[in-house]
Structure 1
Amino acid sequence: MTEEEANSILKEIIFAYPYFEVTDEKINYWINHLKAMPYKPVLYRLEKHIFTSNYPPSISQISAIEKEENTFLVKLEERRNKLKNYESK
């Protein structure tokens, strides 16, 4: 996510949880971690947290790490095709 989007996530937390302690150091810490995640899934998890918890979230409670693409099946199919081509010669 962009820094602007990370700021908007942090604003949501601050508005929803007035007792959430805010310092420059804490803001920088949160923004650095939030920027490594996709915006919409984090926002979705935050909104869900806001409706279910009286306490502000930790980063892990709203984190959404994008999974790497699983290429195992593609590679397996490529190997099968190579083997078929080799056997047909």
Structure 2
Amino acid sequence: MNANQAFDVLDTIAELYPKYVITKRKVDILLPQLKQMDYTNVLKKLSAYAAAHPYPPTLSEIAAYPPTTNIYLEQMRQWKKESAQVPEETKQQFKQQLDTLFKGMSQ
């Protein structure tokens, strides 16, 4: 989320909870954390939270982060794509060499 959206989240909390005072210090602490989050999902969580609780939320109670890409899954997909291009006889030769190596290690 951008800075304007983060300010909107803080303003929404202040509107929902009139006793919640937004100070410069709170903004300085919460703004960098809010900017890492997903605006739409934070508002959804804040709405659900406000319906169930009479006191203001902590940041962790409304936190919602955007999904991250799984670099390991992407790497595995790339390897699978590359392995599909390797000829079957090369794979068989590798398997035989690996079996020979394991048999030598187990003796």
Which of the five TM-score ranges fits, normalised by the shorter chain?
A: 0.7 to 0.9
Q: Scaled by the length of structure 1, what TM-score is found?
A: 0.82
Deviation (angstroms), 1:32: 1.9
SS of match in other structure, 2:70? coil
> Which one is further off, 54-63 or 30-39?
30-39
Determine what percentage of the aligned residue pairs are the same residue. 27
Matching of residues 1-89 of structure 1 within 5 Å: 1-84=1-84, 85-89=86-90
Indicate if the aligned counterparts of 2:10 and 2:22 stay in contact, CA closer than 8 A. no
Structure 1's unaligned 5+ residue stretches are none
Change (3 A) 1:61 1:82: same
Counterpart-to-counterpart distance in 1, 2:78 and 2:4:
42
Higher RCO (C-alpha under 8 Å, 6+ residues apart): 1
Structure 1 partner of 2:104? none
SS of match in other structure, 2:19? coil
Counterpart-to-counterpart distance in 2, 1:20 and 1:33:
18
The code of the aligned residue for 2:62 comes to I
> Which one is further off, 75-84 or 40-49?
75-84
* Alignment RMSD (CA, Å): 1.9
Deviation (angstroms), 1:74: 3.9
> Which one is further off, 15-24 or 45-54?
15-24
Change (3 A) 1:81 1:12: closer
